[in-house]
């Protein structure tokens, strides 16, 4: 039977294992432990193995180092013979059972154990959760360029794990986005553009035939669910953008073949104003190259099958209104009446020339069944003179009718313009602006739409408030406003106010010390982004202090030179 009795050995006859996986020790914690050892002695023996020159530490190097600091001559030891193949494993597990292990060392150690044990077995052996183990397994893949920022704690562990989930080429790209020094925002932004929610994928996750070389997403190591569910809530996030993009493209090609076979119209969600964006231009080119007419939403009208409303849905959408039972019943009845009208219109649509279609989202590549009416489908004769350029006498009877209708429509437009101008002038001359009443819902809706349409730029819209009017924007302005009002939330109002604050600050010669707008923004946001602002301010304060010191030193030199000249 192996002797496990405690022996008191000379510290000079003991040495650390050069292959010990733990490389860092907190100096302050070692000092505190040494003070405890001076007072109470070493309460738990260290474990050593025999060596030709004495003994080598297997477990307890921290206690050994603290004993040296305490100037002890001997230390209690348990001497054991270990098989050389298990020494590293024993040391790793012993280190991992402690709380103060440096995260990157911890990650490397767990990755080493993974060659022999499953993640579940490692979790059981060291007493950590399975999610923790998977997080450290991913952290071991972090490229060298990011590691100093983890050690300096500039890079949080949660963000480091997200970075490490990506292939090394992507990690290098993330590193390049920062420029000099560490900045989290460009990295987080780059990551968000490289992460894809597989629950919204346009293909089946268990489809092994879509891209045979890649295999099914359900089994892929770049699916976060197969990395220990690091995002929680059973989310499945793909971190291999090249594969995800290739599968989307293959899905579009299959969809094109399907609509060719069954005669369904494929309509990408594209308008003239955004037709040149990279992803929209790509989709249109693929559709055209494969023999389909590249329709866009400006060319047609479409109808979706309406969804039957529920009281629960109405309460959720209008949670801030705090309906009474009677008010909720009234809202529900109105919603049901609208649903009945929309359902009837949907059923009547085929008789009015609407055809079966698939509405195609150019970002997600998901499709939705709709009924589509192509407007102005009859091709115009080449070199024909437009009706509005023809004299009435030169028009056919059909063209004369169209010309009369166009003129009447234009007259209504002009009268409508004048009518609205008079209304706005009347409101401006009233006491409206000085009213003490709280803003009504209609006013908040008007403010949101006004700000969105007239002030927020296209890039900002896409970044912060994509889908502002919902999935399908009715062409009828009045209907669009009413629907927006129906789904209005104060969160939208608050978000637009914050966007307005953010985009109305001034740069150049204006800053938060010499401009009223900038200073008010700085005061408003100082508590919200306290840590970020303090970090930036500290950096500039340090630079200013160094510059002022150099300036003062130079002035002192010049003053001494001037004094010497006078003397």
Work out the number of other CB atoms within 10 angstroms of the CB of residue 278.
Answer: 7
Place of tokens 């990506």: 166
Q: Give the integer Cα–Cα distance in Å for 10 and 77.
A: 10
For residue 505, what are the contacts with CB-CB under 8 A and spacing of at least 6? 517, 518, 521
- Pairing outcome for strands 355-360 and 265-268: parallel
Would you state the torsion angle of the CA atoms of residues 248, 252, 255, 256, taken in this order, to the nearest 10 degrees?
Answer: -170
Angle, helices 278-289 vs 241-262, to 10°: value is 40
Q: Give the integer Cα–Cα distance in Å for 161 and 177.
A: 18
Of 201, 271, 268, which is closest to residue 236 (Cα–Cα)? 201
User: Sign (positive/negative) of CA torsion 375, 381, 384, 390?
Assistant: negative
Of 25, 23, 45, 18, which is closest to residue 100 (Cα–Cα)? 25
Is 329 catalytic? The answer is no
**CA 545 to each of CA 6, 348, 514, 537: distance values in angstroms, whole numbers, following the listed order:** 58, 76, 21, 12
Residue 146, judged by CB atoms within 10 A of its CB (0-12, 13-18, 19+), counts as: buried
Q: Give the integer Cα–Cα distance in Å for 20 and 17.
A: 5
Of 15, 20, 16, 18, which is closest to residue 88 (Cα–Cα)? 20
**Which candidate in 2, 8, 27, 61 is catalytic?**
61
Q: Which tokens hold the place of 234?
A: 């059973």
> Do 103 and 161 touch, CB atoms closer than 8 A?
no
Alpha helices in 263-392 (DSSP H): 278-289, 311-317, 325-348
Catalytic positions are: 61
């Amino acid at each position: 039977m192996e002797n496990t009795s405690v022996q008191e050995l000379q510290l000079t006859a003991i040495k650390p294992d050069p292959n010990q996986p733990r490389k860092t020790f907190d100096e302050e914690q070692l000092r505190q432990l040494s003070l405890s050892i001076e007072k109470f002695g070493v309460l738990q023996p260290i474990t050593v193995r025999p060596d030709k020159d004495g003994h080598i530490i297997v477990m307890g190097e921290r206690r050994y180092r603290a004993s040296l600091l305490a100037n002890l001559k001997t230390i209690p030891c348990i001497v054991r013979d270990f098989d050389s193949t298990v020494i590293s494993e024993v040391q790793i597990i012993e280190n991992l059972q402690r709380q103060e292990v440096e995260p990157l060392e911890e990650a490397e150690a767990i990755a080493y154990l993974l060659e022999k044990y499953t993640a579940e077995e490692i979790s059981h052996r060291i007493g950590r959760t399975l999610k923790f183990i998977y997080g450290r397994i991913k952290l071991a893949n972090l490229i060298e360029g990011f590691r100093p920022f983890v050690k300096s704690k500039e890079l949080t562990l949660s963000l480091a794990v997200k970075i490490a989930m990506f292939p090394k080429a992507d990690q290098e790209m993330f590193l390049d986005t920062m420029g000099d020094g560490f900045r989290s925002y460009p990295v987080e932004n780059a990551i968000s553009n490289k992460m894809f929610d597989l629950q919204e994928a346009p293909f089946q996750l268990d489809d092994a035939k879509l891209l045979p070389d890649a295999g099914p997403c359900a089994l892929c190591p770049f699916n976060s669910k197969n990395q220990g569910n690091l995002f929680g809530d059973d989310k499945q996030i793909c971190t291999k953008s090249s594969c995800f993009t290739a599968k989307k493209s293959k899905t579009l090609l299959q969809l094109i073949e399907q609509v060719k076979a069954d005669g369904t119209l494929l309509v990408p969600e594209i308008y003239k104003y955004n037709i040149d964006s990279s992803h929209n231009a790509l989709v249109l080119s693929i559709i055209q190259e494969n023999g389909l007419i590249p329709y866009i939403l400006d060319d047609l009208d479409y109808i979706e099958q309406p969804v039957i409303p529920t009281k629960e849905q109405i309460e959720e959408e209008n949670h801030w209104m705090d309906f009474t039972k009677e008010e909720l019943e009234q809202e529900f009845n109105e919603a049901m009446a609208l649903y009945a009208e929309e359902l009837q219109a949907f059923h009547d649509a085929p008789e009015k020339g609407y055809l079966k279609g698939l509405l195609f989202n150019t970002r997600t590549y998901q499709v939705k069944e709709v009924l589509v009416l192509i407007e102005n489908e009859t091709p115009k004769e080449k070199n024909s003179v437009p009706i509005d350029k023809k004299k009435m006498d030169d028009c056919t009877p059909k063209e004369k009718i169209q010309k009369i209708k166009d003129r009447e429509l234009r007259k209504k437009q002009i009268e409508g313009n004048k009518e609205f101008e008079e209304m706005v002038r009347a409101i401006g001359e009233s006491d409206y602006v000085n009213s003490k009443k709280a803003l009504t819902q209609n006013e908040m809706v008007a403010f949101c739409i006004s700000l969105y349409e007239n002030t927020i730029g296209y890039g900002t819209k896409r970044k912060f408030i994509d889908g502002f009017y919902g999935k399908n924007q009715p062409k009828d302005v009045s209907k669009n406003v009413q629907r927006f009002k129906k789904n209005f939330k104060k969160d939208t109002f608050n978000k637009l106010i914050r966007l307005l604050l953010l985009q109305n600050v001034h740069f150049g010669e204006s800053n938060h010390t010499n401009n009223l707008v900038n200073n008010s923004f700085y005061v408003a946001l100082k508590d919200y982004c306290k840590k970020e602002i303090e970090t930036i301010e500290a950096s500039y304060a340090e630079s200013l202090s160094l510059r002022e010191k150099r300036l003062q030193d130079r002035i002192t030199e010049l003053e001494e030179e001037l004094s010497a000249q006078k003397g």
